[in-house]
Structure formats: C-alpha cells, structure tokens
C-alpha cells in the first residue's frame, strides 16, 4: 500500500494504516513525523501529511515553487505568527503559498496535523543563509524509504 508514494499508477491509501516515520532531525526541532502519500516527478512535487507535536518546528526554508496546506488539527505559527507580521493558522485552515515564500519560523504550540501539497523543492538553510538541504520529491522519497 505504502509504495503508492512511488507509484505511477493512481492509488488509494488508507492513511490510518500507514505508520508515521520521523522527519529528518536536521530539518526540524522537536517531534515531527510524516507519511509520504505521493510523489509527482512531472510536477517536481509531492503530497504528505505531518504530525507535529507541541513545541516542534520546521527549520528555516524557502519554497522554490508554490504550495498548499491544510491544517487539520492544532495551530501553526507561520513566519513568526501574526504577532510578528506572519500568519497564525488555526485548524481548520487552508493556504495557497506563493513560489519563493520564505518560512523562517514555522512553529507548533499545540499538537497539530498538517497536509501539504508541494509544487517545487524546499531550500533548507542555516542561520547564515547557506543551503543545508535541497528537498524535492526524490529527497522526500529517500527520507521515506530510509525510515521504513
């Protein structure tokens, strides 16, 4: 079933029968797990669901293509949250995020669940702005296969 992520066929995935795997430690802090649902090399993107425990956050990154997200549970502070000029998403929330958006702080202050449809690679950077990892559909598939 879970090989659907690597399938060129259409495929149904019973999401609650697929195990969560840890999201790579160098790309986040705290407890973030994910399930890869689909990779689409022709659009250079992928679809995944993330389980983000209270206190976790994604490392700073820039989206090199647009993306869409659905926050199904919890709360997510995007670009520092509303207090810092960013957005505070509260479930059920949706956003279309533009190509080239930079997410320097993406924090979860409650247990949260996030669906993402991504249309291009993510450039994870360090404090000096240097690339730590370029994460496209191939890298997501490597993370997924390595953890299982």
Contact 51, 19 (CB under 8 A): no
From 29, 90, 102, 126, residue interacting with a copy of itself (rule: CB under 8 A): 90
From 32, 137, 140, 143, residue interacting with a copy of itself (rule: CB under 8 A): 137
**CB burial readout 103-128, b (16+ within 10 A) else e:** bbebbbeeebbbbbbbbbbbbbbeee
65 binds a copy of itself (CB under 8 A): yes
Distances (CA, A) of 101 to 17, 60, 115, 146: 33, 11, 18, 29
CB of 55 to a copy of itself, least distance (A): 22
Angle, CA 40 vertex, CA 148 and CA 59 arms, to 5°: 60
Span of 23-31, 32-40, 52-60, 102-110 interacting with a copy of itself by CB under 8 A: 32-40
Cβ proximity to a copy of itself, 30 vs 86, nearer residue: 86
- With H, G, I as helix, E, B as strand and everything else as coil, classify residue 99: coil
Q: Provide the binding-site residues for a copy of itself, judged by CB under 8 A.
A: 4, 7-16, 37-38, 40-44, 47, 49, 64-66, 68, 70, 72, 78, 87, 89-90, 92-101, 115, 117, 119-121, 123, 131, 134, 136-138
């Amino acid at each position: 079933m879970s090989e659907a992520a690597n399938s060129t066929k259409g495929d149904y995935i019973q999401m609650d029968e697929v195990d969560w795997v840890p999201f790579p430690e160098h790309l986040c802090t705290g407890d973030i797990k994910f399930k890869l649902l689909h990779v689409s090399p022709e659009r250079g993107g992928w679809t995944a669901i993330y389980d983000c425990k209270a206190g976790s956050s994604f490392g700073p990154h820039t989206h090199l293509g647009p993306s869409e997200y659905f926050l199904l549970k919890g709360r997510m502070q995007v670009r520092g949250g509303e207090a810092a000029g960013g957005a505070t998403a509260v479930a059920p929330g949706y956003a279309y995020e533009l190509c080239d958006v930079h997410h320097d702080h993406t924090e979860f202050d409650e247990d949260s669940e996030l669906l993402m449809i991504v249309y291009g690679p993510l450039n994870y950077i360090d404090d000096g702005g240097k690339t730590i990892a370029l994460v496209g559909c191939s890298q997501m598939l490597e993370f997924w296969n390595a953890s299982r």
